Amino acid sequence: MATGRVIGGHYLNAPVSTAPIGGALVIQTGLRWRKLNEEQVLSWSVESPEQKSGTLSAVGQAVAGAVAPRFLGKAASAAVGAALDAKIKPPRLVRVRWNDGKQSLIKFPESLYQHFAMMLPQRATPASSPDTTAVDGGSDQSSMGQPG
């Protein structure tokens, strides 16, 4: 089962997964669950990914270096690394604005993100601009737009 994690704001470090009964997406905080549904989520947006720092390329090339024999050389290693990079999808960062004014930044694996996006398409807002990406977990209502 794919799981995500809250990496900023309210519910920091809590796991995100599907509930065993009903299949709803939930954030588990101790023995409690907070559902990611229309009653709880005011809006959400996908955060702009940072510039590719080469992490995936480095991972792809490291795997390729282990798989490709040395006599194939760097060109073959780079080609295999690029092919692996194309298969690996980075996690999605989603900013969730809760109905109570709090915010969370959640890292979803691709499969869980697709589930989330299908459940709450009407709450999606355009990606936030770079100067509003800090998650304070507080109640700054001025930067929160109404879903449209």
Level-2 CATH architecture, domain 4-49+90-143:
Roll (2.30)
Let me know if 85 is exposed, middle or buried by CB neighbors in 10 A (0-12, 13-18, 19+).
buried
Chain Cα centroid distance, residue 14? 13
Q: Where are the domains of the chain?
A: 4-49+90-143, 55-87
| Predicted local confidence at residue 95, as pLDDT | 95
On whether the pTM is more than 0.85, the answer is no
| Reduced 3-state DSSP string for the chain | CCCEEEEEECCCCCEEEECCCCCCEEEEECCEEEECCCCCEEEEEECCCCCCCCHHHHHHHHHHHHHCCHHHHHHHHHHHHHHHHHHCCCCEEEEEEECCCCEEEEEECHHHHHHHHHHCHHHECCCCCHHHCCCCCCCCHHHCCCCC
- What string of pLDDT tens digits covers the 148 residues of the chain? 678 999 999 999 999 998 878 888 999 988 888 999 999 999 999 987 654 444 445 555 555 455 555 545 555 555 665 555 556 678 899 999 999 999 999 999 998 999 999 989 888 887 654 444 444 444 444 344 444 4
